[in-house]
Chains A and B, each alone.
Chain A
Amino acid sequence: MTTNEHDLKMPSFGSDMHQGSLTEWLVKEGDHIKRGDVVAVIETSKGAIELDIFEDAQVLQLLVKEGDKVAVGEPIARLSSATTTSKPATTNKESTLATPAKALDLTTIEAPSSQQAPHKNFVLATPAARQLAQQQQLSLAAICVNNNNRIVTLAMVEQASQDQDPNSPSFVMTETPPKQIMPVEKNSDLDSHQHKQTQVKTGFDKDAMRQAISDTVTRSKREIPHYYLNQRLDISALQNHLQRYNNSVPVSQRLLLAAPLLCAIARLLMTNKQFNGEYLEGKFQPGETVNLANAINLRGGGLVMPVIHDAQNLSVELMMEALKQQVSRARNGSLVYSQLSGGTCTVTSIGERGAEQMFAVIYPPQVAIIALGSPHQEMLVIDDAMHIRWVINASLAADHRVSDGHSGARFLYQLNQLLQNPESLWQTPG
Chain B
Amino acid sequence: MDTKQLRELILTELCNIAPEIEKDEVPDDQDFREALELDSMDFLSLVIAVSQQTKVNIPEVDYPKVLTLNDMINYINNN
Contact = CB atoms under 8 A, between A and B. Distances in A.
B22 interface: yes
B41 A353 contact: no
A160 interface: no
B34 to A, nearest CB: 7
Contacts of A155: 20, 22
A254 B20 contact: no
Interface string B26-44: 0000000110010111101
9 contacts: A150-B19, A155-B20, A251-B48, A323-B41, A327-B39, A327-B41, A352-B39, A353-B33, A353-B34
Contacts of B47: 251, 254
Interface of A: 114, 126, 128-129, 150-155, 243, 246-247, 251-252, 254, 256-258, 297, 299-300, 323-324, 327-328, 331-332, 351-353
Interface of B: 16-20, 22, 33-34, 37, 39-42, 44-45, 47-48, 51-52, 57-60
Nearest to B20: A299
A220 B45 CA distance: 35
- B interface: dominant SS: helix
Contacts of B34: 353
Most buried by A among B17, B20, B40, B59: B20
Nearest to A125: B19
Q: Which 10 A-B pairs have the closest CB atoms?
A: A151-B19, A251-B51, A327-B41, A153-B19, A299-B20, A114-B16, A126-B19, A252-B48, A251-B48, A351-B39
Contacts of A114: 16, 19
Given A299-B18, A327-B42, A353-B34, 18 more contacts: A126-B20, A128-B20, A152-B19, A153-B22, A154-B20, A251-B48, A254-B44, A254-B47, A254-B60, A256-B41, A299-B37, A323-B41, A324-B45, A327-B39, A327-B41, A328-B45, A331-B18, A352-B39
A144 to B, nearest CB: 12
Contacts of B60: 243, 246-247, 254
B19 A332 contact: yes
B40 A251 contact: no
A324 B41 contact: yes
A132 to B, nearest CB: 12
Nearest to B58: A251
B48 to A, nearest CB: 5
Nearest to A375: B40
A258 B40 CA distance: 9
A351 B41 CA distance: 10
A352 B31 CA distance: 13
B7 to A, nearest CB: 19
Nearest to B22: A155
Contacts of A150: 19
